[in-house]
Amino acid sequence: MEKNKYKSFELKHFLYTFKRYPILITKAKGSVVWDDQGKRYLDLFSGLAVCGVGHTHDRVVRAIQKQASKYLHVSNYYYTAPQMDLAKALTGRYMGSRVFFSNSGAEANELAIKLARLWATKNGKRGRDILTFHNAFHGRTLATAAASDGKNRNNSIYEPLPKGFKALPFNDLTKLKAAISSKTIAILIEPIQGEGGVNVASGEFLKGIARACKKHRLLFIADEVQCGLGRTGTFFSFEQAGVKPDIVTMAKGLAGGLPLGATLALDRVARHMKPGLHGSTFGGNPVSCAASLEVLKLLTASQLKSIRTTGRILKDTLTGFQRYPVVKEIRGEGLMLGMELTCPGAPFVDLARKKGLLINCTKEKVLRFLPSYFISRKEIESAMKILDSVFQTLVPTIEAKR
Ligand SMILES: Cc1ncc(COP(=O)(O)O)c(C=O)c1O
């Protein structure tokens, strides 16, 4: 299909929700994808942080094939081995928790919100308020949209939204403490904001949240949908601050490329859940769970260490880009990194793609890097060479116009 036909196809057959790039992907392996013209791209976007273990990892694909040959779906009215094995493996990574499987990050967060309200009801709390943060992104269902930064998401169009969310400045403990009232039941945070511009919550802030939750009897909810599952070099990113949230949500890379969400809740919250209070037809699909088990097996302690090392190499290289006057700041942890520019990032993303490198831009000016955990040093070097040539081409023109 010719490039100019993509847009008309989009407008004829799809609801126009995504500004898709005019390439048709036909194959993907590890950190490389190919389009229908045979063009090869180094992928530092990983399907929006989903292919953490790389595209079509052999072990994940084999697990999918093996499970698919047995059965695809039987419903949550019966036990299945992949779901039981995964529940054991995942709760084993978060001691004292129980899990509910869904299909996406938004669903995982939706349940976190329900659980907080359920817990509040059972604990005689009169209020319903969940404190959230500016630039947060928790999903696109009505409740998760309400919990996200409305200014950035056209939330007003979809009103009325569920009530009970109050957004506060990120990393501001004083304002957080001042905002806690008798109506507050929980604090919901992405330990590293992804869509909001790769903003890292300081260890002090996360510890402060944990202390405030203990003092005021609130629930600490961590949205690890993007920053969890090893991406920052620890299985959960909040581990680095030494905190233990009551509810943790996961999705994205959990099943190596298949849809799967998970909400983990510590027993003091989980014990209130009873049959009929929540459910999902597809949640915890056996094929997704079988894939996820392989992903968890791949995330060994030495692999997590290697993510930290690779992340440091990539961050150091990106820091070198500060020689270009348009680069304001490099931030992030492990393999979740952002480069804030002083100008729009879209032309950088476009030219990089034309030169064979897939990256992303969020919050208009933040280039985002979410490579596979298994990306090689050689691939990072090649990617950074391409990125450098993009900067060499674009920066002089941008500077000349200023
Ligand atoms: C931190 C965070 N939470 C929730 C979501 C929503 O996940 P999903 O698109 O799978 O519903 C996202 C998606 O980008 C996310 O980054």
CA-nearest residue, atom 3 of ligand 1: 138
Tell me if 137 CB under 6 Å of ligand 1.
yes
> Do 344 and 236 share a structural domain?
no
**What CATH number has the domain bearing residue 123?**
3.40.640.10
Point out the least confidently predicted range of 3-12, 30-39, 197-206, 250-259: 3-12
* pLDDT for res 150: 76
- The answer to whether residues 140 and 190 belong to one domain is yes
In a shared domain, residues 308 and 178: no
Which residue stretches of 14-104 are H helix? Answer: 46-49, 58-68, 81-92
Do 88 and 237 belong together in one domain? yes
CA of 139 to the centre of ligand 1 (A): 5
The total number of structural domains in the chain stands at 2
Q: Which positions ≥6 away from 273 have C-beta within 8 Å?
A: 100, 115, 118, 265
CB neighbours (10 Å) of residue 300?
A: 11
267-287 pLDDT tens trace = 999 999 999 999 999 999 999
Q: Is the CB of 138 under 6 A from ligand 1?
A: yes
> So what's the pLDDT on residue 2?
57
For residue 390, which of 329, 336, 346, 335 has the smallest C-alpha distance?
346
Q: Quick check: is 138 in a domain?
A: yes
- At residue 3, does pLDDT exceed 70? no
Q: How confident is the model at residue 154 (pLDDT cuts 50, 70, 90)?
A: confident
Is there a contact between 348 and 342 (Cβ–Cβ < 8 Å)? no
Residues 312 and 291 in one domain: no
Residue 250 CA to ligand 1 center (angstroms) comes to: 9
> Tell me, what CATH number does 377's domain have?
3.90.1150.10
Q: Cα(188) to centroid of ligand 1, in Å? A: 14
Kindly state whether residues 322 and 224 are assigned to the same domain. no
Structural domain boundaries, residue 294 = 58-298
The answer, yes or no, to whether any atom of ligand 1 lies below 6 A from the CB of 362, is no
Distance 226 CA to ligand 1 centre (A): 7
* % of the chain with per-residue pLDDT over 90: 97
Q: Is the pLDDT of residue 221 over 60?
A: yes
Q: Do residues 346 and 283 share a domain?
A: no
Q: What are phi and psi of 355, to 5 degrees?
A: -90, 5
**Angstrom distance (rounded) from CA 294 to CA 45:** 21
Taking 80 as the threshold, does the pLDDT of residue 42 lie above it?
A: yes
Three-state helix/strand/coil letters over 269-316: HHCCCCCCCCCCCCCCCHHHHHHHHHHHHHCCHHHHHHHHHHHHHHHH
Cβ of 109 below 6 Å from ligand 1: yes
Residue 251 Cβ < 6 Å to ligand 1: yes
What is the pLDDT confidence band of residue 4, given thresholds at 50, 70 and 90? confident
Tell me: pLDDT of 152 over 70. Answer: no
Within a domain: residue 167? Answer: yes
Is the distance from the beta carbon of residue 188 to the nearest atom of ligand 1 less than 6 Å? no
Q: What is the per-residue pLDDT across 48-106, written as a single tens digit (0 to 9) for each?
A: 999 999 999 999 999 999 999 999 999 999 999 999 999 999 999 999 999 999 999 99
Same domain, 286 and 259: yes
Q: Within a domain: residue 351?
A: yes
48 Cα–ligand 1 center, Å: 10
Answer yes or no: is 131 within a domain: yes
Q: Which pLDDT tens digit goes with each residue over 232-258? A: 999 999 999 999 999 999 999 999 999
Same domain? For 271 and 169 the reply is yes
Centre of ligand 1 from the C-alpha of residue 130, in Å: 18
Look at residues 255, 274, 298 and tell me which one is the last residue of a structural domain: 298
Same domain, 277 and 228: yes
When the pLDDT of each residue in the chain is averaged and rounded to a whole number, the result is 97
Is the pLDDT at 396 greater than 90? The verdict is: yes
With respect to residue 15, please indicate whether it lies within any of the assigned structural domains.
Answer: no
Q: Supply the pLDDT for residue 111.
A: 98
The answer on pLDDT for 328 being more than 60 is yes
Ligand 1 atom at minimal distance to the Cα of residue 106: 11
Residue 1 pLDDT more than 60? no
Tell me what pLDDT residue 50 has: 98
Ligand 1, residue 194: give the atom nearest the CA.
16
For residues 67 and 144, membership in a common domain is answered with yes
Identify the pLDDT of residue 402: 86
Tell the residue nearest (CA) to atom 7 of ligand 1. 105
Average pLDDT over residues 41-51: 98
Atom of ligand 1 nearest to the CA of 140: 11
Does residue 218 carry a pLDDT above 80?
A: yes
Clarify whether residues 117 and 145 are in a common domain: yes
Q: Residue 357, Cβ neighbours under 10 Å: how many?
A: 23
Give the H or E element holding residue 145: helix 142-147
